[in-house]
């Protein structure tokens, strides 16, 4: 019998790549959708950790993709064609909407679905209480090579720091940390000079779509990548505008 699969996501074009690939492999897949985290909530949480000056510097980069939508749409189309993926959400996949992944409604939905596995892609962090209440294992796709590049913009930071051998994606079990769970599979991807901080995530996700598909039976069997990747672990955030410009001028990585 084919495994029952549920996906938790807040939506977006990059997660759509993974949802399409998983839905093709497991037609009975159901999506549980939460709304994106509110900008005010996100900024306050980030400022508590980094300070308001740092966050103010990050804002232009965080939202800069909106200023170059025409260019991004063209690049996204090239990525779709090159890797045989789709960033359009499938219409035939059932969707259950919940207020938040950490709302009791999410756990209630999972219990009704009775999935064998929860695949998390592009959703907020699950709280310790939510993780404890999960009725099935949960895995996550991260567009970065862990433990080296956790957090956001893993591909950009790998290139900016001169480590193209760490440009790629990871599928790992979900725990209470930020991309710290045991690794099921990883893939080093090929970077393209046309990509920037606004498209690296999509390029990596496209190249890792089938990695995600292959990771599902491995996760169900409890098999991990052996040996587990070892190395310096760091969580990354968005660069500040001035840091992004300085890095681009110095290294050509934008």
Catalytic residues: 142
Q: What span, in angstroms and rounded, lies between the C-alpha atoms of 14 and 73? A: 12
Token pair of 8 as six digits: 């938790």
Q: What span, in angstroms and rounded, lies between the C-alpha atoms of 119 and 17? A: 13
Cα angle 78, 81, 86; round to 5: 100
Q: What span, in angstroms and rounded, lies between the C-alpha atoms of 146 and 230? A: 8
Contact by Cβ (8 Å): 150, 236: yes
Number of helices (H), then strands (E), in the chain: 10, 9
Burial state string for 21-41 with b = 16 or more CB within 10 A and e = fewer than 16: bbbebbeebbbbbbeebeeee
Parallel, antiparallel, or unpaired: how do β-strands 117-120 and 5-9 relate? parallel
Pick the closest to residue 137 from 33, 32, 220, 225 (CA basis).
220
Q: What stretches of 12-92 adopt beta strand conformation (E)?
A: 30-33
Contact by Cβ (8 Å): 37, 124: yes
Contact by Cβ (8 Å): 119, 141: yes
């Amino acid at each position: 019998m084919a495994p029952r699969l549920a996906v938790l996501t807040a939506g977006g074009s990059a997660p759509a790549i993974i949802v399409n690939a998983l839905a093709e492999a497991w037609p009975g897949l159901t999506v549980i959708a939460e709304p994106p985290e509110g900008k005010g909530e996100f900024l306050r949480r980030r400022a508590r950790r980094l300070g308001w000056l740092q966050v103010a510097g990050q804002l232009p980069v965080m939202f800069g993709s909106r200023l170059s939508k025409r260019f991004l749409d063209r690049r996204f189309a090239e990525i779709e064609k090159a890797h045989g993926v789709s960033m359009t959400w499938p219409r035939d996949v059932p969707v259950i909407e919940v207020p938040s992944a950490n709302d009791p409604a999410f756990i209630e939905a999972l219990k009704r679905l009775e999935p064998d596995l929860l695949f998390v892609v592009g959703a907020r962090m699950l709280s310790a209480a939510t993780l404890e209440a999960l009725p099935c294992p949960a895995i996550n796709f991260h567009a970065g090579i862990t433990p080296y590049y956790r957090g956001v913009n893993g591909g950009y930071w790998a290139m900016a720091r001169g480590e193209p051998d760490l440009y790629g994606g990871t599928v790992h079990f979900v725990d209470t940390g930020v991309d710290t769970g045991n690794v099921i599979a990883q893939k080093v991807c090929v970077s393209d000079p046309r990509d920037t901080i606004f498209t690296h995530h999509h390029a990596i996700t496209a190249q890792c779509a089938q990695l995600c598909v292959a990771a599902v039976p491995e996760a169900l069997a409890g098999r991990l990548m052996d040996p587990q990747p070892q190395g310096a672990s760091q969580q990354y955030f968005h660069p500040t505008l001035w840091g992004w410009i300085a890095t681009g001028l110095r290294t050509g990585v934008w």
